Amino acid sequence: MYRRREVLRAGAVLGLAAAAPWLHAATPGGLLTRKIPATGEALPVIGAGTSGSFEVEPGSADYQQLKAVLKAFFDGGGKVIDTSPNYGGADSILGQLLEEGGWHRQCFIATKIAANSRSEAEAQWAGSLKSLRTDKVELLQIHNLRDWQTQLPYARELKQQGKTRYVGITHYLNSGHEEVASIVRSQPLDFIQINYSVNAPHAARELLPLCQDKGVAVLVNRAFDDGRLFGRVKDQPLPAWAAEAGIGSWAQLFLKFAISHPAVTTVIPATGRPDRQLDQLKAGHEPLLSQAQQQALIQQFA
Ligand SMILES: NC(=O)c1ccc[n+]([C@@H]2O[C@H](COP(=O)([O-])OP(=O)(O)OC[C@H]3O[C@@H](n4cnc5c(N)ncnc54)[C@H](OP(=O)(O)O)[C@@H]3O)[C@@H](O)[C@H]2O)c1
């Protein structure tokens, strides 16, 4: 009998990954996965964001660099990429890169509706599909809860039509957590997306346990506090225990903090640099951080 690893290795050699959908669940880089509670579908714990980092000119040197970022991401077993129609053209750059690299089938595309009315949302959604060069996405989220009473039912309609497989809501500030929690309590949702980091661990108080309780998957944004955390640790050594936790950089440590919470499905850090992408993927392996290590970080960055 073949062991799963051997089958996967053989599949990769034979190029079967493109033909056999079940192989897509495997992560070539051996990334840890977590299940989406709604369906049991496994997602790699390290994903990617596109805000800022993907807002580049098509065909520019930055664009070429992003191609290398995505190659590193998919070769390393990444799958989930988050974008939005209001990220300064990042979704269009993502769509173009996915098409050029032939990566659409490997990508779990998460995008958003950020609109103030049904008609605005309909036009925006049509534009999103065009930008992303696809006819469906995996996850459609209501951006920052904007007009969610109108937009969430619309996203559910699109789910019914097979245009998205999952629906969710997003926010990026601690001040949004209470409203996000109240929607998690009152509405059927597949996902939320929220900020959670060593210097903003607020979501762990109520929201993350609530999502575990309700069976809602969680994407984590701003694990680097939009890059600001790197300024805080400039020239500082990693904690003494980092090596034994398999951590070789501050980026890995910040990401490992996020995925060490059991409610977190995937963290979606943004970068436009291939070297940083490779580094980020290294965080998606065991061991995860102990409670004591997580607490030490929260204290250090309070
Ligand atoms: N409301 C919402 O729905 C919402 C809000 C916020 C974010 N998001 C999503 O979550 C994603 C992640 O959040 P974010 O982009 O705000 O913040 P983030 O992932 O915390 O930080 C990204 C920033 O960190 C920098 N960075 C990455 N690795 C680095 C390293 N090793 N050293 C120094 N700097 C480094 C990146 O710059 P380089 O590109 O130069 O590496 C980028 O500017 C977004 O891209 C977006 O997809 C959603």
Nearest CA to ligand 1 atom 26: 227
What's the CA-to-centroid distance between 172 and ligand 1, angstroms? 12
Per-position pLDDT tens, the chain of length 302: 333 343 333 333 333 333 322 233 346 668 999 999 999 999 999 999 999 999 999 999 999 999 999 999 999 999 999 999 999 999 999 999 999 999 999 999 999 999 999 999 999 999 999 999 999 999 999 999 999 999 999 999 999 999 999 999 999 999 999 999 999 999 999 999 999 999 999 999 999 999 999 999 999 999 999 999 999 999 999 999 999 999 999 999 999 999 999 999 999 999 999 999 999 999 999 999 999 999 999 999 99
Please spell the DSSP secondary structure of 63-101, one letter per residue.
Answer: HHHHHHHHHHHHHTT--EEE--TTSTTHHHHHHHHHHHH
Q: What gap in Å lies between CA 77 and CA 15, rounded to an integer? A: 15
Distances (CA, A) of 150 to 4, 128, 154, 157, 160: 45, 18, 7, 11, 16
- In ligand 1, the atom with minimum distance to the C-alpha of 228 is 24
Q: What are phi and psi of 250, to 5 degrees?
A: -65, -35
Give the bridge partners for 219, in sequence order: 193, 266
**AA identity, residue 211:** C
Contact between 99 and 131 (Cβ < 8 Å): no
The answer to whether the CB of 227 is under 6 A from ligand 1 is: yes
The answer to whether the CB of 269 is under 6 A from ligand 1 is: yes
What domains lie within the chain, and their CATH numbers? 1-29 (no CATH), 31-301 (3.20.20.100)
The answer to whether the CB of 47 is under 6 A from ligand 1 is: no
The answer to whether the CB of 49 is under 6 A from ligand 1 is: yes
SS3 label, residue 111: strand
